[in-house]
Structure 1
Amino acid sequence: MIPLYITVEDEKLEAVKKVIEKLEELTDTKISYDERTKTFNVIPKGQNQYEALKAVSVIRAIGLGFDAEIAFKLLSDEYILDVIDLKGIIGNNPEVMRRVKGRIIGENGKTKKILQEYTGVYISIYEHYIGILGPYDQVQIARKAIELLIDGKEHSTVYKFIDKAERELIIYKTSKLGRKRTNEINDNWQIVPITYCLNYVRI
């Protein structure tokens, strides 16, 4: 099987190393750390490459600042990790970076807390990355809300967007069309509801 590689910052190495044994057991993988290349190597013991991908996701989440307990939720098929690279959106200007991160975090962490509570996801802001961990639909709503904050939208506008998006998602999932599409067995079944709903949310 093809080995997978993942790099984390030096200050997060110990946090990852503490959970390697447990992660290997739960994903049936062999995980080693290469001091020379500064990478974790993840090799599936069996034929299931998917489990190795899950292990990589957990390591990446811890590297982004998530607590191990939260990161391990990625072993469930219901959870995903999405990452926004602020440098790719706003560039390297330190002052702009500080201001944008401040908008997302809020005074005493208030905005970040509201985003998490409203959408049911976990958010970690580490260096120039924003990690969003949770169920697929909820992660998409949270990501859109964060993108609106990055674009400079008022916080009240963003909170209204989240409220509308959540209501549209509930309406869709409880409708006949929503139940039919959610029960269809295909690779894209999760994408249908949230894409459909976000198209109907006006900002």
Structure 2
Amino acid sequence: MYITVPDEKINLIKSIIPRLEEISNTKIELNERTKSINVTPLNNNAYDAMKVISIIKAIGVGFDPEDAMKLMKDDYILEIIDLKDVSNGPDDLKRIKGRIIGEKGKTKKIIQEYTGVNIIITDHYVGILGNVEQADIAKRAIEMLIKGREHSTVYKYLDRAERDLYLFKINRALKEGLNNT
């Protein structure tokens, strides 16, 4: 499995390769000339290699390596939205990023606080790193902003989604408790 990373991230990736190999049971080869990384599972478990690829992608987008390492957990995912795919030129891209970030970072902060995910916004990417359920909620909220929904509508969605997720978790815990008796 191959992946490429931005030039400015090569040294950072290079510095964590031994740690990644250790925690993932993979062999990672970096070709500095082509800026490509080959990840090979040592135990024929492609799942581990895919997790390493996600970690490298997360670092490539701009996440801190320690945060990216959380992707080794089974319930953590990385979502990347390419804003070039949803914008009509530089001015539209700037407007969309502004809607996601909000005034003085307010909107981004609210999404992160409601969902507990980490969000990175770069030139034309939005990276979301977090628990599977929470990342899905954050992604949906960001997609709503991209489509032009009012911020208040998005905040109401976040409130409702978090409440629904909380109730779902309580019901699941109750059912598991009943099944164990």
Query: Residue 43 of structure 1 aligns with which residue?
Result: 40
**Partner SS state of residue 86, structure 2:** helix
TM superposition shift of 1:177? 11
In the alignment, is the contact (CA less than 8 A) between 2:10 and 2:32 conserved in 1? Answer: no
> Is it true that 1:78 corresponds to 2:75 in the alignment?
yes
Determine the C-alpha separation between the residues in 2 that align with 1:129 and 1:49: 26
Query: Residue 59 of structure 2 aligns with which residue?
Result: 62
Query: In structure 2, do the counterparts of structure 1 residues 34 and 178 end up closer, same or farther at CA, with 3 Å as the change threshold?
Result: farther
Determine the C-alpha separation between the residues in 2 that align with 1:176 and 1:13: 43
TM-score normalised to the size of structure 2? 0.90
Determine the C-alpha separation between the residues in 1 that align with 2:65 and 2:41: 21
Which shows bigger deviation, 102-111 or 66-75?
102-111
TM superposition shift of 1:108? 2.6
In the alignment, is the contact (CA less than 8 A) between 1:172 and 1:178 conserved in 2? Answer: no
Query: Residue 137 of structure 2 aligns with which residue?
Result: 141
Determine the C-alpha separation between the residues in 2 that align with 1:103 and 1:149: 6
**Equivalent residues in 2 for 1:53-132 (5 A)?**
53-91=50-88, 93-132=89-128
In the alignment, is the contact (CA less than 8 A) between 2:128 and 2:135 conserved in 1? Answer: yes
Determine the C-alpha separation between the residues in 2 that align with 1:45 and 1:154: 49
Give the partner amino acid of 2:101: I
Alignment: residue pair count: 177
Unmatched 5+ residue regions in structure 2?
none
- CA deviations on 1:89-108 (whole Å, 9 max, x unpaired) are 224x1111111111111223
Query: Residue 150 of structure 1 aligns with which residue?
Result: 146
**Partner SS state of residue 22, structure 2:** helix
- CA deviations on 1:129-150 (whole Å, 9 max, x unpaired) are 1111111111111011001111
Give the partner amino acid of 1:131: G
Unmatched 5+ residue regions in structure 1?
184-203
**Partner SS state of residue 170, structure 1:** helix
Query: Residue 189 of structure 1 aligns with which residue?
Result: none
Query: In structure 2, do the counterparts of structure 1 residues 179 and 146 end up closer, same or farther at CA, with 3 Å as the change threshold?
Result: farther
Higher helix content, 1 or 2: 2
CA root-mean-square deviation: 1.9
**Partner SS state of residue 34, structure 2:** coil
Query: Residue 22 of structure 1 aligns with which residue?
Result: 19
TM-score normalised to the size of structure 1? 0.81
In the alignment, is the contact (CA less than 8 A) between 2:78 and 2:128 conserved in 1? Answer: yes
